[in-house]
Each structure stands twice: as C-alpha cells, then as structure tokens.
C-alpha cells in the first residue's frame, strides 16, 4: 500500500502516509473495522521515524477516519459515503493538477492533453 511513499518529496512523510490511508478508506480498499499495523510495525517496515507514523494516525483520527484504541490498536472507522466521495474527488483534482503541471513543463498544450485523455478513456471503456 505504501509503495509510493517518497522521502525526497517536499510533502512531509506523515502527510504522504495519511493521504495514502485516507484514499484507501475512501476507495474501500480498507473497510470499517479493519485493523491497521501497529506504529512499531509500520515504522520498521517503512524504515521511517515512529513519530511520523504516530502523527499520520493522529491526524486521521482527528478527521474521523481512524480510531486509536489504547492497548488494542488502530482501526478504520465507518466514514460516511459523502465524505468518502469528496475525498476521492479531491484526489482526482490533485492528479489532474499534477498532470497539467507536467504537461506544461514538457510543452504539451491543454488541447493535446485533453484529447489524449478522451482517447485513453475511450480505449479503456470499449
């Protein structure tokens, strides 16, 4: 799940981990009641500072995505459908922004980008 965590990115690691988990919950990859790895396990698996994992979990708890239960672990909460949809829409917006930024850096026009998207989507749909 955390294959794309990039320590070199200017986005702090805790924010990257939180964002990945938020999306996993919103897209149904993680279901309500699912247990997340312990801080100790995830920190050692990703070779990141345990404080980084704690901060990601705490932020998600404050947003209502996770429930940290003393002694038992961290669990996915039942997040309302509307909240999950808006999170996916937000992620889609970020992806498009990134795409547009890359295109303009490479000198690809918006029209060219747009028709390429339509074409790829058509190919996928058929």
Residues that bind other proteins (CB under 8 A): 7-10, 12-13, 39-40, 43-52
Q: Compute the least distance from the CB of residue 111 to other proteins, in Å.
A: 24
Q: Compute the least distance from the CB of residue 14 to other proteins, in Å.
A: 9
Structure tokens at 12: 């702090």
| Distance linking the first and last C-alpha atoms of the chain | 29
Strand, helix or coil at 76? strand
Shorter beta-carbon distance to other proteins: residue 25 or 42? 42
Shorter beta-carbon distance to other proteins: residue 11 or 109? 11
Q: Compute the least distance from the CB of residue 11 to other proteins, in Å.
A: 9
C-alpha triplet 115, 116, 119: angle, nearest 5°: 85
Shorter beta-carbon distance to other proteins: residue 4 or 47? 47
Q: Compute the least distance from the CB of residue 33 to other proteins, in Å.
A: 24
Question: For 38, which DSSP code?
Answer: P
Shorter beta-carbon distance to other proteins: residue 13 or 56? 13
47-60 burial: b if 16+ Cβ within 10 Å, else e: ebeeebbebbbebb
């Amino acid at each position: 799940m955390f294959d794309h965590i990039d320590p070199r990115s200017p986005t702090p690691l805790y924010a990257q981990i939180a964002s990945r988990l938020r999306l996993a919950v919103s897209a149904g990859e993680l279901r309500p009641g699912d247990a997340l790895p312990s801080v100790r396990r995830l920190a050692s698996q990703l070779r990141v500072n345990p404080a980084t994992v704690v901060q990601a979990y705490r932020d998600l708890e404050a947003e209502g995505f996770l429930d940290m239960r003393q002694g038992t672990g961290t669990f996915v909460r039942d997040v309302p459908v509307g909240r999950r949809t808006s999170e996916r829409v937000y992620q889609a917006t970020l992806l498009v922004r990134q795409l547009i930024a890359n295109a303009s850096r490479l000198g690809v026009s918006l029209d060219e980008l747009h028709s390429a998207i339509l074409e790829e989507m058509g190919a996928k749909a058929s």
